[in-house]
């Protein structure tokens, strides 16, 4: 099911499948900024990564005496979320623990997605509530995909990533298995931009750590049109697209990382974004501005 909010600047559509932002149309020029989930390329719009971001060792979670298979980025992105409420500028969805989730993750929880439209900015807040009788460790992240080019007058190389501050990005290397193994690499030093071309994602994503910038966006050179994400509260920000000339680019602020390559499959031993006591809640927000 789809739900829509709009104001004088933007029309935003959210789908209950994965609680994803499905569409953001800027009214001044009619540009659709969200990737439209072409399954022949990549079949998502803006998935939520929960209860973990990235992969876990052997694709297994061991918790509460059981073993559970867990694929890339957890299960929230591939499940129907329930409608809770809608106002003129807000949509609220939730995913609560159920027999289906407990078969994959043995914790009682509630994951609430709140989408709020404010001018040319969309805020997506995620709140995790621990409804279990035990402590709840979890990882979480955002994975929005933005279509480039913005129109048929441009091509992908007319775009670049821009930081709000000068950066010398340190990247965590998760190749070849998508798990951490202690290696890092560096993108060019003292940069404010990263050009987009067919080689940028030849080796998958770039997982940047400890950035100084408060924002990171994809900008159309020479026009000022851009999609800009506030990354200030996130310790990790990834850039990703499919190899080759990108049809979309992802700016992914995360609060946790994949498991260490030689790490444990025991859930309580995996590094977490947070560990909630029974009844405790935790929230984060990704704010994305669609500017001209």
Residue 4, beta-bridge partner list: 13
Q: How many domains does the chain have?
A: 1
Q: What 3-state class would DSSP assign to 78? A: helix
Distances (CA, A) of 279 to 22, 99, 263: 31, 20, 29
pLDDT tens by residue, 208-245: 999 999 999 999 999 989 999 999 999 999 999 999 99
Rounded-to-integer distance, Cα 44 and Cα 180, Å: 24
Compute the distance between CA of residue 276 and CA of residue 286 in angstroms, rounded to an integer.
21
Helix (H, G, I), strand (E, B) or coil at 57: helix
CA–CA distance, 268 with 150 (Å, rounded to integer): 43
Handedness of CA 11, 23, 254, 161 (dihedral sign): negative
Report pLDDT for 226. 98
Q: Is 232 within 8 Å of 215 (Cβ atoms)?
A: yes
> What's the pTM value of the predicted model, to 2 decimals?
0.96
Residue 265: what pLDDT?
Answer: 95
Other CB atoms within 10 A of residue 137 CB = 21
pLDDT at res. 182: 87
Give the CATH number for residue 18. 2.70.98.10
Q: CA dist 135 to 25, 50, 111, 236, Å? A: 41, 16, 16, 24
Which pLDDT does position 239 carry in this prediction? 98
The backbone torsions φ and ψ at residue 101, rounded to the nearest 5 degrees and listed phi first, read -75, -35
How far apart, in whole angstroms, are the C-alpha atoms of residue 232 and residue 248?
Answer: 23
Which structural domain, as residue segments, surrounds residue 213?
2-291
- The whole-number average pLDDT for the span 8-22 is 98
Given a cut of 90, is residue 262 above it in pLDDT?
no
């Amino acid at each position: 099911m789809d739900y829509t909010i709009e104001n004088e600047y933007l029309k935003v559509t959210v789908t209950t499948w994965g609680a994803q932002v499905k569409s953001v149309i800027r009214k001044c020029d009619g540009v659709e900024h969200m990737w439209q989930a072409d399954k022949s390329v990549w079949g998502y719009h803006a998935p939520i990564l929960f209860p973990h971001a990235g992969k876990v060792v052997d694709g297994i979670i061991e918790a509460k005496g059981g073993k559970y298979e867990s694929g890339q980025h957890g299960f929230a992105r591939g499940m129907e979320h329930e409608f809770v409420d809608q106002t003129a500028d807000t949509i609220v969805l939730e995913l609560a623990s159920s027999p289906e989730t407990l078969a994959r993750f043995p914790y009682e929880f509630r994951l609430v997605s709140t989408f709020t439209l404010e001018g040319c900015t969309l805020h997506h807040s995620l709140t995790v509530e621990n409804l279990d009788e035990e402590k709840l460790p979890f990882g979480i992240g955002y994975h929005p995909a933005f279509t480039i080019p913005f129109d048929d007058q441009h091509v992908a190389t007319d775009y670049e990533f821009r930081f709000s501050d000068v950066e010398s990005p340190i990247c965590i290397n998760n190749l070849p298995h998508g798990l951490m193994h202690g290696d890092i690499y560096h993108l060019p030093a003292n940069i404010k931009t990263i050009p987009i071309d067919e080689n940028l994602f030849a080796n998958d994503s770039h997982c940047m750590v400890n950035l100084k910038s408060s924002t990171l966006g994809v900008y159309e050179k020479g026009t000022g049109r851009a999609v800009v994400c506030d990354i200030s509260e996130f310790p990790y920000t990834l850039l990703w697209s499919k190899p080759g000339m990108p049809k979309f680019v992802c700016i992914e602020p995360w609060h946790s990382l994949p498991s260490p390559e030689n790490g444990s499959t025991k859930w309580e031993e995996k590094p977490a974004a947070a560990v909630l006591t029974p009844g405790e809640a935790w929230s984060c927000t990704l704010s994305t501005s669609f500017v001209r």
